Amino acid sequence: MTGPVTTSAAVAGHTAAETGGGSHSSMLNKLRAGVLGANDGIVSVAAMVMGVAGATTDSFAILVAGVAGLSAGALSMAVGEYVSVSAQRDSERALLARERWELENLPDQELAELASLYEAKGLTPDLAHQVATQLTHHDALGAHAEAELGIDPDELVNPWHAAGASMGAFVLGALVPLLVMVLTAPSVRVWATAGAVVGALVLTGVLSARIGGARVLPAVVRVVSGGVLAMAITYAIGMLVGGGIA
């Protein structure tokens, strides 16, 4: 017969394994952010070069506008992500500092709080107390931070990594419409760019749906519709502005 100590050890091990699963969730979030960053690059630069192409056939003007849009968008994404993730990291550090203080000064209260969290998950009071005790002895801060705050002290977010990933994803996405627009013949570049953008958006839509576990078709329709609408509107505006200047 399995004794209470063995049972609590098994539950504690399972709980620790679930905690490790946070890294898997973190990886999925990074992949999703990368896909969204690429999608932003595709749509924003496609809309920009389409707008300029609607106003002029000057390839150099289109190239300059596209490179400017790519640079501005990539830097904006990087700075925004850095600021956002830095604020998140500062908040996590403050929460961990408070949790560390509580563990040092209120250990019994913290142990009871951790046990109550496991009771809320379905464990009996005795087993919840045993599991909380074992996890606290093994890694007090890690156990309490994960259960109470949803934070892994060993895997705090890195703003530099986030900024670099966002910038890289945006640039990769933005290169699709920019390169197609400037490398194809003027007579076909608008349609060629539109086709390349739709294809790229289908890919990002499929990836985002797969990563998020959502239905593929609605995700693809949403992202492609938004991209096509953005290109159509900016191209029409470019034609109006170009015609007015001419």
pLDDT tens profile 178-218: 999 999 999 999 999 999 999 999 999 999 888 888 899 99
For residue 22, what pLDDT is reported? 52
For residue 5, what pLDDT is reported? 45
Show the low-confidence residues of the chain (pLDDT under 50): 1-11, 13-14, 16-21
Distance between CA atoms of 170 and 75, rounded to whole angstroms?
9
With a CB cutoff of 8 Å and minimum separation 6, the contacts of 179 are none
With a CB cutoff of 8 Å and minimum separation 6, the contacts of 93 are 156
Nearest 10 degrees: CA dihedral of 118, 121, 127, 130?
-20
Distance between CA atoms of 227 and 224, rounded to whole angstroms?
5
Are 55 and 238 in contact, with CB atoms under 8 Å apart?
yes
Enter the pTM of the model. Answer: 0.77
